[in-house]
């Protein structure tokens, strides 16, 4: 049996994954469907879409961008080789749990100053990124103060219950990936795309 | 209401995300804990760890690698700038739902020929990648024939039930991310790492 | 003074950079202008352009792709997030000194089988990649047998003259970058683009 | 013959590449050998080395990092997956022609605040990045006011002579690549590394 770690109750793989599963299940219920529809609307209206995020949030941003490309959207990842300039009429989608990642907030500010719409996926709507955003999709993760079920998340963290499960934001990223995949499913329905359409655009050279 | 899409029952965001959640919940139960322990063992024994995957599986591989780095492991992503040569004593972890992604299978073969251990995360243990692997962590996704609950997955796909939800492998990647995050939680317990240890290694320049 | 290294004559920074400069100057003269024109023709005709290369050649490929994007071409880097499928009418430009890099040759073969034109930048026209190519831009580097001036390159390598200067292909990559920048300059002239046009497309979010 | 473009004299590939070659030859002479030695000293003293740059300068940074890894240095690219935190005793090498790239300057500031040494490769020593730097390797490119040979570079730009040749900084990046490859050659001599040593570390999985 693994060492007892700071009183963490997750003492085996089965209990660890069970706690992650519980968090997914609980948090999914808190997603605001109106925010999802608002995000879908700006996606459908955008000339070009740019996604961005740092660290693991950046990977979720890329996973979302890949699917948007499969759906035929004109989508780019900030910082990749052939990503062009943002222009009025474009949409930037930024993913940041805390909403305070320095370079992400800076790039959102630059984009905003060019008349570009900002959509954000964040746990903190009142963050620097949140304040710059036209559309906010709140995804609860490690940064939210109030946790589902009336109990305070920070309190649970202090008790160590989620400590080894949520290092540096795991839950936020998994949840963002799940939520954005559901956004893709909804988008597919809205534009009438089939899996065959997606397959046709799926990268061959990889 | 969105257009009816090939008889897909997911007609709204809420029902879409509910179906994804169900799949996560059902599939998590099928993870073989012995395979998890075997993967953890080869990770702990490896001199250097290399992760690889194509497309969205590659993003999951990177998310896993980031956490392994936070835990202090000597870990690299195949194809990144400062990734060195694999050598005897190293471990390659390859992520591929089908286990047939050409470049991934080729690189696994090259690594194998150098005496490197191969761990794979795949839906198809009998695939090219699976056959090259010393340790297989099976994660059911779109490629498995038999689905949890006795019903045939392909059949459900044909009925269109999961069609717009699982384009090109969604469920595999989300599940792999969840499972590998639980592997990290377990690894943290085994080596006695705290969230503070992880934070100390978390990238500052991003 | 640095240690004498295998008889390498480059004993100081000044002499090192002087030798690199000499190689650039000599090799530039050997570029076949007809091959450049042929490459420009297929670039102008392509629906979409995909660039690819491994290691430092991959970086040169990206530097070239960035400029093509600035010029308004529909260009992608193989393996990046939003790179779509190759289709008939597209062009793949592969950069490989030896022309034998496994994944690059494999992807060229896949692209070729889909009716896509292959342009290559290589030192070895008779290589696997070269044989798959419709247009070859030969750039002499470490892999060429005959070196400018009648002397055998391998011989000079054996003598150690270029040993520490050309580790794993330096000269090929620098030369490829210079040659492809000149291709861009020529393309700008052909399509009548100005630096202002390029600036307008230059990434803002980086 | 291509359209006459704003009076640019480069009317063919041969003349374009000739002008690039001339710029390389002239500018190489202006590199300060003392700055090279200072950069080599901080590289040899660093615990970990981090390179960074945006756009094409970022590609040059990666090309340099790849070689440093081949030489056995503990080197990382800012923003890549397994790049750890910078700490006191580390070195950051930033590449930016203008020295004003926002995210690069910000990251240099963050690193500086952690007691990390900053080395920069830039055309403008008096820039934001330059002012943050402990070691500056000046590489003349498009941003320098005075050009080799007594003539004002801006003037030559206004005359259009270099216009289509130096879009958004070409010359700076080519020169930086050449100069940093010569730094590698010098480093090889200093530490007594052979091409065989480099080959042993060259990526196998790519």
C35 is written with which tokens?
A: 């091959």
Average pLDDT of the segment spanning D54-58: 94
How many domains does chain C contain in total? Answer: 1
- For residues B180 and B121, the answer to whether their CB atoms sit within 8 Å is yes
ipTM of the complex in this document = 0.85
* 3-class DSSP string for C8-62: CCCCCHHHHHHHHHHHHHHHHCCCCHHHHHHHHHHHHHCCCEEEEECHHHHHHHH
Higher pLDDT: D21 or B153? It is D21
Evaluate whether residue A206 is within a structural domain.
Answer: no
Asked if A189 lies within 8 A of B36 by C-beta distance, the reply is no
Banded pLDDT at D159 (limits 50, 70, 90): very low
Helix (H, G, I), strand (E, B) or coil at A92: strand
Residue D45, CA atoms < 13 Å, CB-side half-sphere: 14
> Is residue A50 pLDDT above 50, yes or no?
yes
Average pLDDT of the segment spanning B17-24: 84
Q: How far apart are CA A88 and CA C54, in angstroms?
A: 36
Asked if A65 lies within 8 A of C82 by C-beta distance, the reply is yes
Q: Report the 10 Å Cβ neighbour count for D32.
A: 12
Percent of chain B, pLDDT > 70?
80
Asked if C201 lies within 8 A of A114 by C-beta distance, the reply is no
- Phi and psi at B161, nearest 5°, equal -60, -40
Q: How far apart are CA A177 and CA C148, in angstroms?
A: 55
Evaluate whether residue C59 is within a structural domain.
Answer: yes
pLDDT in tens, A171-198: 889 999 999 998 998 898 888 877 777 7
- For residues D46 and D91, the answer to whether their CB atoms sit within 8 Å is yes
Banded pLDDT at A16 (limits 50, 70, 90): confident
Q: Report the 10 Å Cβ neighbour count for C74.
A: 14
- For residues D159 and D193, the answer to whether their CB atoms sit within 8 Å is no
Evaluate whether residue A151 is within a structural domain.
Answer: yes
Q: Indicate which CATH number applies to the domain containing D176.
A: 3.40.50.10490
Q: How far apart are CA D121 and CA D172, in angstroms?
A: 10
Evaluate whether residue B5 is within a structural domain.
Answer: no
**Chain C residues with beta carbon closer than 8 angstroms to that of B52:** none
Which stretches of chain C score pLDDT less than 70?
1-11, 142-170
pLDDT in tens, D102-136: 889 999 999 999 999 999 999 999 999 999 999 99
Nearest CA in chain C to A106: C205
- Phi and psi at D132, nearest 5°, equal -85, -10
Q: How far apart are CA C66 and CA C170, in angstroms?
A: 21
**Chain D residues with beta carbon closer than 8 angstroms to that of B71:** none
B72 is written with which tokens?
A: 């202090």
Length of chain A: 206
- Which of A50, A81, A205 is nearest residue C66 as measured by Cβ atoms? A81
Q: Report the 10 Å Cβ neighbour count for C151.
A: 12
- For residues D148 and D27, the answer to whether their CB atoms sit within 8 Å is yes
Catalytic-role residue among D173, D195, D196, D206 = D173
Asked if D66 lies within 8 A of B77 by C-beta distance, the reply is no
Residue in the structure block whose two tokens are 């990206």: C62
Nearest CA in chain C to A78: C205
Asked if A183 lies within 8 A of B5 by C-beta distance, the reply is no
In the annotation, is B138 catalytic?
A: no
Nearest CA to D68 out of D188, D195, D167, D196 is that of: D188
DSSP summary character for residue D2: P
Q: How far apart are CA D92 and CA D77, in angstroms?
A: 10
* 3-class DSSP string for C114-168: CCCEEEEEECCCCCHHHHHCCEEEECCCCCCCECCCCCEHHHHHHCCCCCCCCHH
Banded pLDDT at A3 (limits 50, 70, 90): very low
Q: Which H or E run includes C94?
A: strand C91-95
- Phi and psi at C52, nearest 5°, equal -155, 155
pLDDT in tens, B56-112: 999 999 999 999 999 999 999 999 999 999 999 999 999 999 899 988 999 999 999
> Is residue B4 pLDDT above 50, yes or no?
no
Average pLDDT of the segment spanning B11-20: 81
* Closest-CA distance of chain C to residue D90, Å: 24
Q: How far apart are CA B16 and CA A91, in angstroms?
A: 24
> Is residue A134 pLDDT above 70, yes or no?
yes
Q: How far apart are CA A97 and CA A104, in angstroms?
A: 11
Q: What pLDDT is stored for residue A5 in this prediction?
A: 36
- Phi and psi at C142, nearest 5°, equal -75, -15
- For residues D57 and D97, the answer to whether their CB atoms sit within 8 Å is yes
Higher pLDDT: A145 or A142? It is A142
Evaluate whether residue C5 is within a structural domain.
Answer: no
User: What range defines the domain where residue C146 resides?
Assistant: 33-200
Nearest CA in chain C to D194: C164
Mean pLDDT of chain A: 82
Asked if C13 lies within 8 A of D186 by C-beta distance, the reply is yes
Evaluate whether residue D165 is within a structural domain.
Answer: yes
Higher pLDDT: D95 or B23? It is D95
Evaluate whether residue C131 is within a structural domain.
Answer: yes
Average pLDDT of the segment spanning B119-142: 93
> Is residue A4 pLDDT above 50, yes or no?
no
- For residues A145 and A154, the answer to whether their CB atoms sit within 8 Å is yes
> Is residue A8 pLDDT above 90, yes or no?
no
| Residues in CB range of B94: below 8 A, 6 or more apart | B51, B52, B53, B61, B104, B107, B108, B118, B119, B120, B121, B122, B129, B133
Catalytic-role residue among B29, B80, B161, B173 = B173
Asked if C177 lies within 8 A of D179 by C-beta distance, the reply is no
> Is residue A34 pLDDT above 90, yes or no?
yes
pLDDT in tens, B100-115: 998 899 999 999 999 9
The conformational region for residue B149 under phi > 0 = left, psi -120 to 50 = alpha, else beta, is left
Evaluate whether residue C123 is within a structural domain.
Answer: yes
Q: In Å, how far are A81, C49, C173 from A76, measured between CA atoms? A: 10, 16, 27
* Closest-CA distance of chain C to residue D20, Å: 7
> Is residue D21 pLDDT above 90, yes or no?
no
- Phi and psi at D122, nearest 5°, equal -155, 160
Nearest CA in chain B to D114: B204
What is chain B's Cα-based Rg? Answer: 18
**Chain A residues with beta carbon closer than 8 angstroms to that of C81:** 62, 65-66, 69, 77, 80
> Is residue B139 pLDDT above 70, yes or no?
yes
Average pLDDT of the segment spanning D18-42: 90
Instruction: Name the pTM for this structure.
Output: 0.88
Banded pLDDT at A132 (limits 50, 70, 90): very high
Residue D201, CA atoms < 13 Å, CB-side half-sphere: 21
B66 is written with which tokens?
A: 């980031």
C93 is written with which tokens?
A: 């430009």
Higher pLDDT: D46 or C146? It is D46
> Is residue B162 pLDDT above 60, yes or no?
no
Q: What pLDDT is stored for residue C170 in this prediction?
A: 64
C185 is written with which tokens?
A: 């300059």
* Closest-CA distance of chain A to residue D30, Å: 31
């Amino acid at each position: 049996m693994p060492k007892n770690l700071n009183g963490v109750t997750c003492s085996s793989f089965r209990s660890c994954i069970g706690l992650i599963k519980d968090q997914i299940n609980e948090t999914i219920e808190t997603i605001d469907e109106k925010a999802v529809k608002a995000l879908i609307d700006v996606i459908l209206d955008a000339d070009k879409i740019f996604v961005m995020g740092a660290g693991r949030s950046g990977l979720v941003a890329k996973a979302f961008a890949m699917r948007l490309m499969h759906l035929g959207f004109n989508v780019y990842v900030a910082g990749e080789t052939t990503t062009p300039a943002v222009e009025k009429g474009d949409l930037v989608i930024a993913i940041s749990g805390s909403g305070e990642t320095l370079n992400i907030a800076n790039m959102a500010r630059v984009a905003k100053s060019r008349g570009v719409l900002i959509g954000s996926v964040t746990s903190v709507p009142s963050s620097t990124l949140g304040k710059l955003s036209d559309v906010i999709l709140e995804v609860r993760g490690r940064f939210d103060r109030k946790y589902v079920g009336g109990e305070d998340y920070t309190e649970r963290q202090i008790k160590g219950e989620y400590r080894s499960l949520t290092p540096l934001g795991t839950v936020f990223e998994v949840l963002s990936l799940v939520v954005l995949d559901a956004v893709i499913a909804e988008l597919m329905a809205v534009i009438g795309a089939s899996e065959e359409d997606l397959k046709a655009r799926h990268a061959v050279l990889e």
